[in-house]
Structures are given as C-alpha cells and as structure tokens.
Chains A and B, each alone.
Chain A
Amino acid sequence: MNHYSENWLLKVEGLTKIYGKSNVRSIENTGPLFDSNICPETGAIIACADINFELFPGEVLGIVGESGSGKSTIVKMLYFDMEHSAGCVSFHKAPYIGKNILNESNQSKRAIRNHLMGMVYQNPRDGLNFKFTSGGNIAEKLIMAGNYHVGTIREKATHLLEKTEVPVLRLDDLPAHFSGGMQQRVQISKAIANHPPLLFLDEVTTGLDVSVQAKVLDLIRELQQELGIAMMVVSHDLSVIRMLTDRTLVMKNGRIVEQGLTDQILQDPQHPYTQLLVSSIL
C-alpha cells in the first residue's frame, strides 16, 4: 500500500526555537524527562526542539498540549511570524520543492504567505487590521495574492462573507464594531481568500461562548470538506481536536511526546502526559 507515502505537502525536520544563550547540552538537558524547558546551565528557554512531522494535502493535523508547551511557536515559525533557531521545512509546491522555506528571502516568504498559506489567530486583532472595514481586510489579502480589479475584489469579498455567515450588509463596517464570533469569521474569510492549500488555526475558538464556538467549528469543517484545505489546528481543547482532526501531535515542554490517529490519542494514549491530559477532560 502506497497511497500517501510520497506526496506530503509540508515536511518539518528538526525545527527548534531557543530564546537566550544556549550551549551544546541545552537540548538534552530539557524536555518532558526534566519537566522543564529551561536550560539548567545557561538559563536559555527551549520553546521547542527537534520537531519532526509531515502534513499531507487535505489533512487536518491537531497540536495539543498545555500553555507554554510550544504549540503556537511551531505554527508561528511555519507562518514566518517568528524566526527559527534551527530546522528545515519543505513545502511541496513549485517553485519551493527541494528548498528549506525557512531560509528563503523575505520576498519569497511573503509570496508563500500570500499564495500558499492562511492564518487564523486566537485574537482577531492579530489577523485583522482594525482600521480597515471587513471588506477592506479581505481585499488586502486578495490584493497581496495578485487580484487588482476592484469589482472582482468586492464580489469575492461578498461571497466570502456569505460563506462564513457574516451579514453582507456589514461589508463596509469596521470589525471593531463586530462581536467576537463575527470578527473570528471575518478573519477566517480573510485567511481563505487566496485559496491557500494550507491553513493554520491557532486557538480559534478560545474565548468564544459555546454556541458561537460550535458555529465557528462548523464553518471550519465545512470549508475543509468543500475546499480540501490542509489544516494545522492548535488547541488545548480536546473536543475541538476530536471534532476537527485526523491525526494529533501531543506536546510537552517543547517536545512532541506522542503522535498518532486522533481517536487513538484520545482513547489509548501511551505517554504519561497524554494519559493525564485525556483523563482531565471534563
């Protein structure tokens, strides 16, 4: 059987982020075994180290773990929001095949973000420009992806708002005047405006009330099925992970302690930390 072995979309090898001065033993002296990500010798913080995984086209991959375990760090490095300390990320899309996209020029990184990636942040303020209208925010992404015709842009923005159930009447309103759930849906519209093959979702439902949460999750699922976007879903909420993802990475102290099929992680966790996490579900 060889259905999936070759055609990954994203391959991450040895991805590492360190704050402060580290030495050769910093990585081996930190991690889940030591229950710490602070180097005992130099005080460097190992936000994440030795991260290896693959993501396939159309796959939904979850990352779970407690606050500070390094979940968001990974996603931020992959979206170039944050510099990496070490590691290689390959993106199987022309013209980046065979290259480490982390070492590309800033111009190429912008092009990758504009054409191949989308990001939805926990805080809508990080993903939206609050000085622009909701339509203007979507237009910004469309323009960066190479659409310049005003009529087409308005049409596309309208369509995206409809799709994400934001009243189209509010196309020309500022997101600052929207509810949290609506802001989040505008952010999703913006993130998918350029039809990216890869979408990052960082704690997108945290802080929303349950009915709005269900609505946002529903939307993400629908978009995934309809557009076949590969997604990386960062969440500390295991119900979100169960609903959305096929496979899951479990993180602790900056390391992946376990990865597998999501139902296996939730029902037959192997690592002590995952067992603790799963047994803590309300």
Chain B
Amino acid sequence: MQPLLAIKNLHKSFTMHILQGKKIEALIDVNFTVAPGEIIGLTGKSGSGKSSLMKCIYRTYLSDGGTINYHSNDGVVDLIALNDYEILHLRKTEISYCSQFLSVIPRVTALQVVAQPLLKKGLPADMANEKAMFILKALGLSEALWSGLPVTFSGGEQQRINVARAIIDPPKLLLIDEPTASLDAATKAVVIDMLIGLKSQGTTIVCISHDEYTLQHLVNRCIHLEKGIIVN
C-alpha cells in the first residue's frame, strides 16, 4: 500500500540572525513513512526535535532540504515544495494540527470554539453546536462551562477544548502535540478512545507524547528522536 506520508532526508536548522548568525540543527536526515490509518507516536526528550518535525510537516517551519511526500486527495504532493495557497487548502480540507496549548480568539465561548471547524465548512449552526455539545459531554467538560470563555479555564479544561476542536471534523491527517498532558487518568482514557475512534473513520495520526499510558494504549508504532536524529 502507498504510504500516506513519506519523509526523506529531511533537514531543518535555525539560523539566528540576532545571535550573530548562530545555527541550530533541529532535524538531521530524518527518514520514515506512515501508512494510511496508522497512529504514530513521536517520542524523545524535550528539545529532541519532535515538535520541529511536526511543524515541518504542517509547514509552520520551512525545511532546509529533503521531501515530505503526502498522499492527498489530489495525488501525491511534496509538502515542502507546495506554494502557500496549496498548503492553506490542505489545512482547510485534509491536514489538522492540534498544538499543545489552546490558542483562541478572545470573547468566543467554549462551545463556539469547538463548533468553529464545522461552521467554517458551512454546516448549520444548530447541527454544529449539537455535535460540539456531544463531544464536550463525552470529554466530561461540565455544561456550566460551555458558554464560558476558555481563557479563564484551567489547564485540563483548555486541553479538552483543544482536543475537541481538533477532532470534531475528522481530518485525513491529524498532527497532535501532547493530547493527554494535563488530564486525569479517566479523561485521558476518553481522549485515547476518541482518537482510536478517529482512526476507525480513516484518520491517520501523528502524536507527540511523553506519557507511557498514552503511548501504550494509543499508538501502533513509535519514532524516537535524539538531538534531531531518529534512533529506533
């Protein structure tokens, strides 16, 4: 079967002009493939390059060299070579990124934040809200908070809003950074169940995690990074 994602000779460094051009190597010759429907765990110490790798795939970071071939609905494309508009199109339709921390627009309620991806797609508000409520309920977020503003929430509550928003409209490829980091054991299990549910709907997931339980119960395979190099 053709891989969904095939990363070849990926290099990424940062040149810090404000530090007299100091160069930091973040990723060195990274190679791996991801099959459709797989859940890959990215592991490694802080600073080992996990997030950099994810951001290179999402094109938040510009890679120095290599190819990231992605099997899109329109055929195989190199995410490094696509223009900005093609990337924006893929982000809108196929690839989602869920960061470690929630970043939201001020004055928007929790429910609206979660329903946003469906509304953007043109779904009627009542249907989008219904789906959002369903997910928030499943994640155990108390109903009293639905009309609250996420900036005022606790870390774990924000985390659940973040995950809910990421999975309400299942993408083809989900890049997710520490989805269970600030959650208690019970909620952790719910999030893991939901992500496995996405997989059964055809979503491929690349997930960064430090959490043993999450890795054991969620991922099919781990890719371990050390100082920007894959060591398995």
Residues of A within 8 A of B (CB): 1, 3-5, 56, 214-215, 217-218, 221, 225, 243, 246-247, 260-261, 263-264, 267-268, 270-272, 275-276, 279
Contacts and interface: CB of A to CB of B under 8 A. Distances in A.
B18 A275 contact: yes
A214 B77 contact: no
28 contacts: A1-B72, A1-B74, A1-B77, A1-B89, A4-B85, A4-B86, A4-B88, A5-B83, A56-B85, A214-B106, A214-B107, A217-B105, A218-B105, A218-B107, A218-B108, A225-B120, A261-B60, A261-B84, A264-B62, A267-B55, A268-B55, A268-B60, A268-B61, A270-B62, A271-B17, A275-B17, A275-B18, A276-B18
A90 to B, nearest CB: 17
Given A4-B85, A275-B18, A279-B18, A261 B59 contact: yes
Interface residues of B, number: 27
B62 A268 contact: yes
A1 B16 CA distance: 34
A261 B84 CA distance: 6
B107 A215 contact: yes
A276 to B, nearest CB: 6
Contacts of A1: 72, 74-75, 77, 82, 86, 89
B100 to A, nearest CB: 13
A225 B128 CA distance: 15
Given A247-B88, A264-B62, 18 more contacts: A1-B72, A1-B89, A3-B85, A4-B85, A4-B88, A5-B83, A225-B119, A246-B88, A247-B84, A261-B59, A261-B84, A263-B60, A264-B59, A268-B61, A268-B62, A270-B62, A271-B17, A275-B17
A247 B59 CA distance: 13
Given A214-B107, A268-B55, A261 B88 contact: yes
B87 interface: yes
B176 to A, nearest CB: 16
A271 B18 CA distance: 10
Contact of B86 (A3, A215, A243): A3
Given A1-B82, A267-B61, A268-B61, A261 B105 contact: no
Interface in B84-131: 84-89, 105-108, 119-120
Nearest to A260: B84
Contacts of A5: 83, 85
Contacts of B82: 1
A267 B137 CA distance: 34
A261 B60 CA distance: 7
A264 B56 CA distance: 10
A276 B19 CA distance: 10
A4 B90 CA distance: 12
Contacts of A271: 17
A1 B85 CA distance: 10
A225, A275, A276, A279, most chain B CB atoms within 10 A: A275
Contacts of A225: 119-120
A218 B108 CA distance: 8
Nearest to A270: B62
Nearest to A267: B60
A230 B17 CA distance: 34
Nearest to B77: A1
A221 B106 CA distance: 11
Interface string B153-197: 000000000000000000000000000000000000000000000
Contacts of A268: 14, 55, 60-62
